[in-house]
Amino acid sequence: MYKDILWNDGWQFCLTENGTLTVESADKEKFTDVEVPHDWLIGDTRDLYRSGDGWYRKSFTVTDEMLAGRFFVCFDGVYMDCTVYVNKKPAGDWKYGYSSFSFDITDYLDKGENTIYVLVRYKAPNSRWYSGAGIYRNVRLKIRNNEYIKENGVYISPRVENGVWNVYIEAEKNGGDKLIHTIVSADGEEIGSAEGMNCAIRVNDPKLWDIYEGNLYTLKSILYKGTEIIDVSENRFGFRTTEFDPQRGFVINGRSEKMHGVCMHHDLGALGAAMNEAALRRQLEILKSFGVNAVRTSHNMPARELVAMCEEMGILLDSECFDMWENAKTEYDYARFFPEWYKTDVAAWVRRDRNSPAVVMWSIGNEIGDTHASPRGLEVAKMLKEAVLEHDPKGNAICTIASNYMPWENAQKVADYLKQGGYNYAEHLYNEHHEKHPDWFIYGSETSSAVRSRGVYHLPASADILTHDDLQCSDMGNS
């Protein structure tokens, strides 16, 4: 018994003031039917940042046969600070709004009807951009036998050695007997297999994943109990080499290429933050038509759909995790939880996407004031890189940072430790720093931005003022 179910249907929603309801009293309120993914903030454009507690609930039926296995409820993203209850019993907490997570809810289930509740505590301000609020990404229910392949537990590292590709595989499972891995091409051909928790498959002349060439393969991992198949895990990957050479620049499959990148926030404009695959694909197709070949996920962990589309379209990803570390940028942002939760969130971030050929960089932060304020910034950078390498030890992607503090010493020490540094609005430093630090890979992580209020014009056009007295930004390009 193993199946994955898209679990977006049948949810109901209720919005209340912060702290006014408990799970015991929640059913006294009026709930309305909603579609998940759901962003409740976009429903009232006159009050886009209203604090509140969002309550979600969903009822489902469990049979005796189903209770013989394990149930995992998986959330791709809940913004933010949530608690999941099953039959009014707490099943788990999750703080960050951008990392994926799952809970084993088996022990909270009863035969017959069950109800899951999700409490989302949204307190503003918590972000420097529009965040949305609620269960804004997909939900899945995974039903497994008691012995199974662990979630995100298959790590794939293709390496070319002496002209031959070896696909190194590390797997994690809970019970079971033999574990067999088979590589399957896009047209369904099986091109190699191996058995074990740590093994390798040799592949001759695969199609390379490259910019605008989304050549993908699937590793199908099958767990047996005796001769019975008890679990199957399928993971996409690609064959490509990358180098970040301080002299040659970015090198993919042996040739130097310019990254023509954009920084993308996670929202979909007027549609809000709720995941919509058609809208996201439209964005990427328009960007690709402009010549874009790289995306930086500013400034948070991306939706799995974005990663999948970039894999298919041959677009490089600089996957970014945090906009703040220990020092807050807004009153209720993730800095409240960072010290206790960063390892958990980095694990969720890296383990989910470490097999993706599109992901070439793990950016551990954006414009982090901690790296400028004191030597503690370097200490935290080391902590984060160590956490990344714990889950991507073979370096499928490099560890980097995006900084607007590069003119100053403490941030430069972080760049010297990482050896890869993204410069925000600091093009004037490229040549100077390249000469001083010839071992650094220097790139422009953020080089321009425009903030404009449509149809609002402030004179003189030469006056460079971000926000005027009317709280609007001039549409003349002088903001």
Cβ neighbours of 454 (radius 10 Å)? 7
Hunting for tokens 């972000």 — which residue is that?
Answer: 127
d(CA 153, CA 178): 15
SS3 289: helix
d(CA 442, CA 396): 19
* Distance in Å from the first CA to the final CA of the chain: 58
Convert 163-189 to b/e letters by CB count within 10 Å (16 or more is b).
eebbbebebebeebeebebebbeeeee
d(CA 303, CA 301): 7
User: Which residues 6+ apart lie within 8 Å of 230 measured at CB?
Assistant: 2, 145, 147, 148, 176, 223, 224
446 noted as active-site residue: yes
User: Exactly one of 151, 311, 320, 446 is catalytic; which is it?
Assistant: 446
d(CA 32, CA 115): 15
Hunting for tokens 């071992």 — which residue is that?
Answer: 439
Residue 432 φ then ψ, to 5°? -60, -45
367 noted as active-site residue: yes
Structure tokens at 420: 């890869």
User: Exactly one of 367, 379, 386, 409 is catalytic; which is it?
Assistant: 367
- The residues assigned a catalytic role are 367, 446
